[in-house]
Amino acid sequence: MIPHGKSTSLPDSDIVYDHDYLGTVASHAPETLKRPYRLNTDTSIEKPYVARASYAPDVEHPQGTPVHAQKYKDYSVLQQHCLFWDRDGDGQIWPWDTYIGFRDLGFNIIFSLFAVYVINVCFSFPTRLAHSYLPDPFFRFYLPGAHKSKHGSDSGVYDTEGRFIPSRFEDMFTKYAYSAAPADSLSGHELFRLIHGQRVAVDPYGWSAAVFEWGTTYLLIQKGGRISKEDLRRVYDGSLFWEIKARRQTKEGWNKGWGLGGDGFVGGEKLLPFRL
């Protein structure tokens, strides 16, 4: 344990995960040993515990996604995550916008309709509260109130204002990946560990939302049963959605994810000659 007030620094490489060094493990709380923090995030990102409003950095990309972040610099990272579905830029995502957006990402009709229910029916009222206490009869998702769609039992990477917390993003991989640190991907089983580990008590709404969000992410970007850290970071800032749409318009298409047949891909392999 380091004496209070003593200034010291961690070695650059092999002892990055020496958690006794900082007293992050308590012997009678075994989860503190099973789910360690990443301790060297600040070697690449200045003050990684400070949330970034308009860009999403990680250790490998301390500037986030520069072109995307500059283009949408007036939006929070959570708003950038949602912008793909705001087709006309009016700050409102209609149910039809949600449906078309999921179709553009390669999801089939049934899944896209289910996404409309989850996003527009469940999140319309919370995001509308910035405008009115009356529910929206059209079930629109209001982009200025996107931060109100944050729910319990999530990853904690977005803060309550919709900013991106780099240290929380890095910690997901050290806490829940089985592979040797630093991990650069998560398997489906590791995602389940994440969902389970982030649950808070008496929060069925948050549990359900987390299962939908992480399940959808896995269906969209998995490759070989794992989702890469870089793809996931770009899901958080929304930049990957635009690339997926563009890739789907090429002959090669988007060759990750399961897609449920929506783009002819099943499990990352193009098995169907048509879209569902």
Instruction: Tell me the two tokens of residue 13.
Output: 């490489």
Domain ranges within the chain, ordered by starting residue: 45-246
Q: For residues 91 and 210, give the distance between their C-alpha atoms in angstroms, rounded to a whole number.
A: 24
End-to-end CA distance of the chain: 58
pTM of the model: 0.90
What b/e string do you get for 250-272 counting C-beta neighbours within 10 Å, with b at 16 or more?
Answer: eeebbebbbbbbbbbbeebeeee
Local confidence pLDDT in tens for the 276 residues of the chain: 333 333 333 344 443 446 667 889 999 999 999 999 999 999 999 999 999 999 999 999 999 999 999 999 999 999 999 999 999 999 999 999 999 999 999 898 999 999 999 999 999 999 999 889 999 999 999 999 999 999 999 999 999 999 999 999 999 999 999 876 679 999 999 999 999 999 999 999 999 999 999 999 999 999 989 999 999 999 999 999 999 999 988 888 888 887 555 566 665 566 666 666
Element (DSSP H or E) covering residue 239? helix 239-248
**Residue 51: which of 77, 23, 13 has the closest Cα?**
77
